[in-house]
Structure 1
Amino acid sequence: MIKCIVVDDELIAHQILEKYILKCESLALIGHCRNAMEALAMLEAHEVDLIFLDIQMPLISGLTFLKNLNNPPQIIFTTAFQDYALQGFELNAVDYLLKPFSYERFLKAVGKAEKLLENRSAEKSDENYFIIESNSVAVKLLYKDILYIEALGDYMKIYTPEKFYLQHTTLKLLEEQLPNDKFIRVHKSYIVAIGKIKMIAKDELILSNDIHVPIGQSHKEKLNEVFRK
């Protein structure tokens, strides 16, 4: 599912794009923004894959907004002015929708964004693992396969749905090695995969496969913040 937002100062534009987005099964509308400042706040609060961005807006134009973004999401410009098309493509926009545009033209632009996001995901897939040495054997372990990690003295038990691997290291070193957008320390002896969390209770959380993991008091606030995002 592609998470998207609409950034436009015109109400009618929001209404049309929301209608189109809701009809498209591959899109999930995260929110509406009336200007660049609202959009910036939205990007800080949520993970966004795609922005439908107007160009002529009060105070900060869509072009200026995009130029000042670090690692921006995919951008589809939506504007009533054809004159900005070249500038838009020079900023690596996915597409340039000239208002008023049809649902069919909208889908064509979304299709381009889907392909680009798929290619980006494929490029990253080769980096979504790390190598551990378990029982004197080097093992390539995919991040997506890890449920949680438990510290047992000088050894770490890295659990997957099928089995666990013993790694002679420290939990702190593993925490530094794992990507912090995928894993979180929840206890002095546990790291869990964020995507595997199903529920947070008072003193424990429940992972996929109904696995219960304790929560340390000092980790509760950050865990709740990450889980809600």
Structure 2
Amino acid sequence: MKIKCIIVDDEVHARKVLEKFISDIPHLKLVKSCKNALEAMQVLNNQDIDAMFLDINMPKVTGLSFLENLRHPPAVVITTAYREYAVEAFDLDVIDYLHKPIPFPRFLKAISKIEEKLKSKTEQTLISSTLDTNRQEEFIFIKADKKTIKLNFDDIVYIEGLGDYIKIHVKKKTIISKLTIKKMEELLPSDIFPRIHKSFIISLKNIVAIEGNQIEIGDTKIPIGQIYRKSFMDIINSFLKK
């Protein structure tokens, strides 16, 4: 099975280099080489893309602004001439950060990371699909502490993203699991566990109060991210109308 890729870069030479690299790897398929974020958005809206090679410094919409506003991005590898955005990029869960000019061996290393990510995603999807056949069960299974743990929905208070890991705050303890917050968002029903920030998913039933751009859950205050606010408030308003 081929990994479907897109390139997003306003520089012709940079696109040509990545196009050649992709063509040299048999299990990669270049779906589209885009010169800006708007072209890339059209592709992402119409096709399932596995990986995106994304430049940062582009006109109109920067790569990081584009990525920040994608609700369900593919695996993303940043390709840039700038080193100073690495921390911000990894906060957005990118797979790798490649500095131009990109050596082919370094590109191969990024591909290995993508393959590992997609493999993990497939395994979690299989678990999720199994549970979907019996969705009346209000729990999922996750891997943590070298065990497979049954996680009851009623026990989840909120979930905090820590890069490639998550911290699941349940009643009386926390669980650390090697899952991204994006993957956990896919595993949980969004009408019960909405994502309210790039780093937080919360349990609706455990909300104490909402004030401004913050949510109170017990003694903890959690910020509401700007791009998640509307969808979250739509859920809250649906309760107010009942």
Structures share fold, TM-score greater than 0.5: yes
Equivalent position amino acid for 1:76 in 2: V
1:45 match:
46
* Aligned positions of 1:89-108 closer than 5 A: 89-108=90-109
CA distance in 1 between counterparts of 2:55 and 2:128 reads: 34
Q: For each residue in 1:183-228, what CA deviation from the matched residue of structure 2 results, as whole angstroms up to 9, or x when unmatched?
A: xxxxxxxxxxxxxxxxxxxxxxxxxxxxxxxxxxxxxxxxxxxxxx
Does residue 81 (structure 1) correspond to residue 82 (structure 2)? The answer is: yes
Larger Rg computed on CA atoms? 1
CA distance in 1 between counterparts of 2:21 and 2:30 reads: 10
Equivalent position amino acid for 2:25 in 1: C
**How far 1:49 moved relative to its partner?**
0.7
1:124 match:
125
Q: For each residue in 1:144-201, what CA deviation from the matched residue of structure 2 results, as whole angstroms up to 9, or x when unmatched?
A: xxxxxxxxxxxxxxxxxxxxxxxxxxxxxxxxxxxxxxxxxxxxxxxxxxxxxxxxxx
- SS of corresponding position for 1:82: coil
1:14 match:
15
**How far 1:128 moved relative to its partner?**
2.8
CA distance in 2 between counterparts of 1:29 and 1:74 reads: 14
CA distance in 1 between counterparts of 2:79 and 2:43 reads: 19
**How far 1:97 moved relative to its partner?**
0.4
**How far 1:98 moved relative to its partner?**
0.1
Unmatched 5+ residue regions in structure 2?
A: 135-242
**How far 1:7 moved relative to its partner?**
0.2
Runs of 4+ more than 6 Å apart = none
CA distance in 1 between counterparts of 2:83 and 2:32 reads: 26
CA distance in 1 between counterparts of 2:100 and 2:43 reads: 24
Equivalent position amino acid for 1:54 in 2: D
Aligned length: 131
Equivalent position amino acid for 1:62 in 2: G
* Aligned positions of 1:162-201 closer than 5 A: none
**How far 1:25 moved relative to its partner?**
1.9
CA distance in 2 between counterparts of 1:126 and 1:93 reads: 24
1:5 match:
6
In angstroms, what is the RMSD of aligned CA positions?
Answer: 1.0
Equivalent position amino acid for 1:113 in 2: I
Report the TM-score when normalising by structure 1.
0.56
- SS of corresponding position for 2:84: helix
- SS of corresponding position for 2:66: helix
2:31 match:
30
- SS of corresponding position for 1:86: helix
- SS of corresponding position for 2:65: helix
CA distance in 2 between counterparts of 1:26 and 1:87 reads: 30
CA distance in 2 between counterparts of 1:58 and 1:29 reads: 23
Equivalent position amino acid for 1:29 in 2: L
Report the TM-score when normalising by structure 2.
0.53
**How far 1:65 moved relative to its partner?**
0.1
2:66 match:
65
CA distance in 1 between counterparts of 2:104 and 2:65 reads: 27
CA distance in 2 between counterparts of 1:113 and 1:4 reads: 11
CA distance in 1 between counterparts of 2:98 and 2:27 reads: 19
CA distance in 2 between counterparts of 1:83 and 1:26 reads: 32
**How far 1:45 moved relative to its partner?**
1.5
CA distance in 2 between counterparts of 1:42 and 1:3 reads: 11
Q: Percent identity?
A: 43
**How far 1:63 moved relative to its partner?**
0.3
CA distance in 2 between counterparts of 1:74 and 1:25 reads: 19
